[in-house]
Structure 1
Amino acid sequence: MRGARSFRCTAAPLLLVGGCTDAAVSEPPAAPGPPPAASSTSTAVAPALDVTVVVDGLDHPWDVVQAPDGTLLVDQRAGGFTAVLPDGVRDVAADLRDLFARGETGLMGLALDPGFAGNRRFYSCQGSRDGQIVVVGWTVAADWSAATRVVDPLVGGIPLNERSGRHGGCRLAFVPDGTLLVGTGDAADGSVPQDPRSLGGKVLRVDPATGEREVWTLGHRNVQGLAVRPGTGKVFAVEHGPDRDDEVNLLRPGGNYGWDPAGDGGYDSSVPMTDPAIPGAVAAVWSSGSPTLATSGAAFLDGDRWGGYDGLLLVALLKAEGVLALRLDDDGAVQEQFRLPELDRVHGRIRSLHQGTDGALYVTTDNGGGADRLLRVTPRS
Structure 2
Amino acid sequence: MRLFMHLAMAGLMVIATLPAQGQTFSSKAVQFRLEPVAQGLEHPWGLAFLPDGNLLVTERAGRLRIVRDGTLDPEPVPGVPDLVVSGQGGLLEVLLHPEFTANRTLFLSYSHRNGAGMTTRVAKAKFIEDRLTDVSVIFEAEPRSSKTRHFAGRMAFDGEGYLYIAVGDRGEMDRAQDTGDDAGGVHRITVDGEPAPGNPGLDDPRIQDTFYTWGNRNIQGMTVHPESGAIWTHEHGPRGGDEVNILQAGTNYGWPEITYGIDYSGLPITMDTEKEGMAQPLHYWDPSIAPSGMAFYDGSLIPEWRGDLFVGALKMRKLVRLRIADGEVQDEEDLLTDLGERLRDVRMGPDGALWLLTDHARGNLYRLVPAQ
Give percent identity, aligned residues only. Answer: 31
CA positional deviation for 1:299: 0.6
- List aligned pairs for 1:120-131, cutoff 5 A: 120-130=104-114, 131=118
Which of 277, 282, 292 does residue 279 from structure 2 map onto?
Answer: 282
- Spell out, residue by residue over 1:35-78, the C-alpha distance to the aligned partner (whole angstroms, 9 max, x if none): xxxxxxxxxx8232121111111110001110121111001001
Aligned to 1:30: none
Partners in 2 of 1:273 and 1:362 — Cα distance? 39
1:326 to 322, 326, 329: 322
Aligned length: 336
The aligned amino acid for 1:334 is: V
Deviation at 1:158, TM superposition (A): 4.7
Whether contact under 8 Å (2:253, 2:278) holds in the other structure is yes
Alignment of 1:94 with 2:78, yes or no, is yes
Partner AA of 1:203 in structure 2: V
Determine which of 17, 20, 34 is the counterpart of 1:12.
20
Which residue of the other structure, out of 325, 331, 334, is the alignment partner of 1:336?
331
The separation in 1 between residues aligned to 2:363 and 2:272, in whole angstroms, is: 34
The corresponding residue for 1:116 is: 100
Q: Would you say the 8 A contact 2:301–2:353 is kept in 1? A: no
Structure-1 separation of matches of 2:59 and 2:70: 21
Segments of 5+ residues of structure 1 without an aligned counterpart are: 15-44
The equivalent of 1:211 in structure 2 is 194
- Is residue 205–residue 216 contact of structure 1 (8 Å, CA) maintained in 2? yes
Deviation string, structure 1 residues 93-127 (Cα, Å, up to 9, x no partner): 33446311111111111211001111111111100
Partner residue in 1 for 2:349: 356
Aligned to 2:363: 372
Q: Could you say which residue in structure 1 is the equivalent of 2:132?
A: 147
Corresponding residue to 1:255 among 247, 251, 256: 251
Check 1:104–1:210 CA distance in 2 against 1; reply closer, same or farther (3 A cut).
closer
Partner letter of residue 119 of structure 2? Q
In the superposition, the TM-score normalised over structure 2's length comes to 0.83
Q: Which residue of 2 aligns with 1:246?
A: 242
In 2 relative to 1, CA 365–160 (structure 1 residues): closer, same or farther, beyond 3 Å? farther
For the structure 1 residues 169 and 210, does the alpha-carbon distance in structure 2 shift closer, same or farther, using more than 3 Å as the test?
closer
**Cα-Cα RMSD:** 2.7
- Give the secondary structure class of the aligned counterpart of 2:126: strand
Residues 282, 13 of structure 1: alpha-carbon distance in 2 compared, 3 angstrom cutoff: farther
Q: Matches of 2:122 and 2:96 in 1, distance apart? A: 13
- For the pair 1:162 / 2:159, whether they are aligned, the reply is no
Instruction: Give the alignment of 1:66-77 within 5 angstroms.
Output: 66-77=49-60
- 1:270 is aligned, of 268, 271, 274, to 268
Deviation at 1:10, TM superposition (A): 8.8
Find the partner of 1:195 among 161, 178, 181: 178
The 1-side partners of 2:174 and 2:293 are apart by 25
User: Which structure 2 segments of 5+ residues have no match?
Assistant: 1-5, 23-27, 197-209, 259-263
Q: Secondary structure at the match of 2:101?
A: helix
Corresponding residue to 1:173 among 127, 150, 156? 156
Q: 1:87 to 1:328 in 2, by over 3 A?
A: closer
Q: Decide whether the 8 Å contact of 1:158 with 1:184 is kept in 2.
A: no
Hey, what does 2:25 align to over in structure 1?
none
